[in-house]
Amino acid sequence: MEDAEIMDALNSYYREDMHYESGRILSSMYTAPPEVVLSSFFRFYQANLGNPGLYPGTVKMEREVVRFMGKLTGNSSPFGHVVSGGTEANITALWAARKMGFRRILTTEDVHFSVIKAADLLGMPVEYVPMRGFVMDTLALEDMIHDGDVVVPTAGTTPLGYIDPISRIDSICAELSCHLHVDAAFGGFVIPFLPENIDFAFTVPSVKTVTIDPHKMGFAPYPAGGILARENIFERIRVDAPYLIDGKSETLLGTRQSGSVAASYAAILHFGMDGYRDSVTELMKRTKYLVNRARECGFEILTRPVMNIANIVVDNVECVKKELLKRGWAVSANPKYSSLRIVVMPHVRKEIIDEFLKELKKVYG
């Protein structure tokens, strides 16, 4: 088949997909990256940090990305890797915790599904701590916790963008032999730039590991997650691999798509601390705009947004979501809260918000 025919075939499928440039994907914690970031991905597409001895330059970039994520999370010299996403990061953190002798996971029902996947893979039972005010109830945690538990709070829950009270959880864990892993996959690039001063990661003494994803609010392309650790947990999961240049493997994946490392580094250089701060500030303004406009249109907002995630209360939420999708709008459903979840990413502009609310009024007016 000729190249032109191949591209025609691919384009026929491409036209069936939704694209972030349309602004109509309101359900995703991702956005279209800047062109320089995408270019850097393809520049390093051959890199595979599963065999780091071949790619010393990419190894150095990974260290720079890890260092920057450490700056966001309050650790100037973290151990860490750029991985495929929050799922791999959470599995890695809990795998290392199990290797250290921790057995049971305590978390909330709003935890990301990757923690449940990890528990299943690792044979670790999960106990759900009740929630109060959409976050982990620390009084309930005190009654449930035992030596040898892994506590997994979330800094930016997927349904609501809420932050579990990690400092209070720390004081509970400190009295026992427990392991504290924070899933800040979304919040790690948001919380440091909010007006409130919130301790959510390594500034909390008991926190051992943190998940933080550049491909979410770090505006890097897929796949780019991050796993950071206070100590070298990767020694716990390291295996010998004599055929590799370095003779060992210390991540879950063997082959590691490392164009993501270059892209994450390019995104960090492109935005910097000031750029990320400006982005969060702007997206919080748009979130407030969404909330106010939704109320003006007669819709109820579930709760005050903490991050750039808002929830509009509707009945028959799955049916409304499906009808909106037929009309070209991708939104998430929160059946637990009977709400539509909107993630206000850079492609969700004010005119898109107005257009969406008009469409929602037609569907659920």
What's the pLDDT tens digit per position in 85-131? 999 999 999 999 999 999 999 999 999 999 999 999 999 999 999 99
CB crowding 277-291: b at 16 or more within 10 Å, else e: eebbeebbebbebbb
What value does the mean pLDDT take over residues 8-24?
94
**pLDDT top residue among 238 and 309:** 309
Question: Can you read off the two tokens belonging to residue 48?
Answer: 């595979």
Report the distance separating Cα 347 and Cα 149, nearest Å: 40
Looking at residue 1, its pLDDT comes to: 85
User: Does residue 246 register a pLDDT over 90?
Assistant: no
Looking at residue 239, its pLDDT comes to: 82
**The dihedral of CA 60, 65, 66, 71: what is its sign?**
positive
Task: Say which residues have a Cβ less than 8 Å from residue 102's Cβ, sequence separation at least 6.
Answer: 148, 149, 150, 178, 179
Helix (H, G, I), strand (E, B) or coil at 24: coil
Residue pair 90/113 in contact (Cβ under 8 Å)? The answer is no
Task: Say which residues have a Cβ less than 8 Å from residue 64's Cβ, sequence separation at least 6.
Answer: 265, 268
**Percent share of the chain, pLDDT over 90:** 91
User: Does residue 190 register a pLDDT over 80?
Assistant: yes
pLDDT mean across residues, the chain:
95
Report the distance separating Cα 71 and Cα 165, nearest Å: 21
What's the pLDDT tens digit per position in 117-170? 999 999 999 999 999 999 999 999 999 999 999 999 999 999 999 999 999 999
What value does the mean pLDDT take over residues 71-85?
96
Helix (H, G, I), strand (E, B) or coil at 343: strand
Report the distance separating Cα 214 and Cα 31, nearest Å: 11
Q: Tell me which fold the domain 35-269 belongs to.
A: Aspartate Aminotransferase; domain 2 (3.40.640)
Question: Can you read off the two tokens belonging to residue 310?
Answer: 């808002």
DSSP per-residue string spanning 103-170 = -EEEE-TTS-HHHHHHHHHHT--EEEPPEETTEE-HHHHHHH--TTEEE--BBS-TTT--B--HHHHH
Looking at residue 249, its pLDDT comes to: 83
The secondary structure of residue 330, as a DSSP letter, is B
What's the pLDDT tens digit per position in 321-365? 999 999 999 999 999 999 999 999 999 999 999 999 999 999 986
What's the pLDDT tens digit per position in 275-301? 999 999 999 999 999 999 999 999 999
Looking at residue 247, its pLDDT comes to: 77
Looking at residue 238, its pLDDT comes to: 87
Q: Where are the domains of the chain?
A: 3-33+273-363, 35-269
Looking at residue 218, its pLDDT comes to: 97
Residue pair 102/181 in contact (Cβ under 8 Å)? The answer is no
| Separation in Å, CA 55 to CA 50, 225, 258, 262 | 10, 19, 10, 12
Distance of CA 231 to the CA centre of its chain: 22
User: Does residue 245 register a pLDDT over 80?
Assistant: no
The neighbouring-strand residues paired with 180 are 151, 207
Say which amino acid occupies 191.
I
Looking at residue 303, its pLDDT comes to: 96
User: Does residue 260 register a pLDDT over 90?
Assistant: yes
In CATH, what is the architecture of 3-33+273-363?
A: Alpha-Beta Complex (3.90)
Report the distance separating Cα 234 and Cα 79, nearest Å: 8
